[in-house]
Amino acid sequence: MASNKKIKIQIRDRKLGDEWTQWKGDLSNAEKNADSGKRIFLGVLLLTIFISGASSFFIWYMIQPRLIQFHPILPMIIGCGLALVWAIFSLWFLLMVLSILTEKDFLIIFGKKEYSLTFLVPLAFRFGMRLGISRDRIGNSFVKVINALIRSNVTKVKPGKLLILLPRCLEKTIREKITAFSEALKVPVFTVPGGEKARQLILEKRPLAIIGVACERDLVSGIQDVIGKIPVIGIPNMRPEGPCKNTVIDLKEFEKAVQTFLYKDIHPLALKMLV
CATH of the domain at 186: 3.40.50
* Claim to verify: residue 158 and residue 119 sit in the same structural domain: no
The upper half-sphere exposure of residue 205, i.e. CA atoms within 13 Å in the direction of its Cβ, equals 22
Q: 41 and 136 in contact (C-beta within 8 Å)?
A: no
* Claim to verify: residue 257 and residue 191 sit in the same structural domain: yes
Strand order in the sheet with 189-192: 189-192, 162-167, 209-214, 232-236
Question: What was the pLDDT predicted at 250?
Answer: 92
Q: In order along the chain (275 residues), what is the average pLDDT of each group of 10 residues? A: 46 67 68 85 92 91 88 91 91 88 71 55 88 91 92 88 93 93 92 83 92 92 85 92 88 93 78 74
For residue 145, give the nearest of 173, 171, 188, 115 by alpha carbon: 115
* Claim to verify: residue 88 and residue 163 sit in the same structural domain: no
Pick from 115, 148, 181: which residue ends a domain?
148
Full-model pTM: 0.85
* Claim to verify: residue 166 and residue 258 sit in the same structural domain: yes
Q: How far apart are CA 185 and CA 188, in angstroms?
A: 9
* Claim to verify: residue 239 and residue 172 sit in the same structural domain: yes
What domain range includes position 166? 154-274
Pick from 96, 130, 148: which residue ends a domain?
148
The upper half-sphere exposure of residue 268, i.e. CA atoms within 13 Å in the direction of its Cβ, equals 0
* Claim to verify: residue 161 and residue 269 sit in the same structural domain: yes
In a domain, 174, yes or no: yes
In a domain, 164, yes or no: yes
As for how many domains the chain has, the answer is: 2
Measure CA 47 to chain center. 19
Question: What was the pLDDT predicted at 253?
Answer: 93
- How far is residue 163 from each of residues 91, 152, 258, 269, 270, measured CA to CA in Å? 33, 20, 10, 21, 17
Question: What was the pLDDT predicted at 245?
Answer: 85
In a domain, 9, yes or no: no
Question: What was the pLDDT predicted at 82?
Answer: 93
In a domain, 11, yes or no: no
* Claim to verify: residue 48 and residue 88 sit in the same structural domain: yes
* Claim to verify: residue 227 and residue 129 sit in the same structural domain: no
Pick from 148, 183, 213: which residue ends a domain?
148
In a domain, 21, yes or no: no
